[in-house]
A and B are shown apart, each in its own frame.
Chain A
Amino acid sequence: ETGVTQSPTHLIKTRGQQVTLRCSSQSGHNTVSWYQQALGQGPQFIFQYYREEENGRGNFPPRFSGLQFPNYSSELNVNALELDDSALYLCASSPAGGALLSPLHFGNGTRLTVT
């Protein structure tokens, strides 16, 4: 069983630039969620995708956007990067039904540094 994989593992960008992070969900999982974990904080929910549509969103501005593809993989795009966007970005997948039926399975994350 293939777990959740994320790429790249590390990334350095300059303020104002745009970034795309990628995630392949665990085999058999069709729901993908993205979380941001700032230093010293717990993960914060950004949004979730199910059947290629956004299915819930946390308190993040519109410059955070995403996509889900027919093979259930997903992208997180962040425009106009700010210094505070520096964080670990975690992708998690789950079968349809989400947390109540099956816990989220997380990837190892992408460490984004904005300078």
Chain B
Amino acid sequence: DQQVKQNSPSLSVQEGRISILNCDYTNSMFDYFLWYKKYPAEGPTFLISISSIKDKNEDGRFTVFLNKSAKHLSLHIVPSQPGDSAVYFCAASSPTGGSQGNLIFGKGTKLSVKP
């Protein structure tokens, strides 16, 4: 049973427009959420994170929103650039999940930004 779900396998966006990637989770004990970006033949690269005590975190073009009551988070990229084309993974961790390296990942969403 998947605890972190990314229901959109792919997303296509025009350059300059907003990209919105969604993520849902089922475990209310999750208290920290991260987004990773992965290019082909490379490992995942950390993008942005948010603690459960916040509902928004912003870093340049990237903003993550957290709705705890809905167990939903989203990543907004504005404006989208062709270099943003990659697979985006949502991940979560909990204080009861044992070691802090134990992240639960979604299956990923492949973002394509067209020029």
Taking Cβ atoms with an 8 Å cutoff, the residues of A that contact B are 4, 31, 33, 35, 40-45, 48, 50, 55-58, 90, 92, 94, 97-100, 103-109
Contacts and interface: CB of A to CB of B under 8 A. Distances in A.
Interface string B63-81: 0000000000000000000
Contacts of A104: 46, 101, 103
B20 to A, nearest CB: 19
Interface of B: 4, 6, 32, 34, 36, 41-46, 49, 89, 91, 93, 98-108
Nearest to B100: A98
B100 A45 contact: no
Residue of A31, A43, A50 ringed by the most chain B CB atoms within 10 A:
A43
Nearest to B6: A42
12 contacts: A35-B105, A42-B107, A55-B98, A55-B99, A58-B102, A97-B100, A98-B101, A104-B101, A106-B43, A106-B45, A107-B43, A108-B42
A42 B43 contact: no
A56 B4 CA distance: 20
Contacts of A48: 99, 101-102
B43 A45 contact: no
Given A42-B89, A42-B107, A108 B43 contact: yes
B101 A33 contact: yes
Contacts of A98: 99-101
Given A56-B102, A99-B103, 20 more contacts: A40-B107, A42-B4, A42-B6, A42-B105, A42-B106, A44-B105, A45-B102, A45-B103, A48-B101, A55-B101, A56-B98, A92-B101, A99-B34, A99-B100, A100-B93, A103-B46, A104-B101, A104-B103, A107-B43, A108-B41
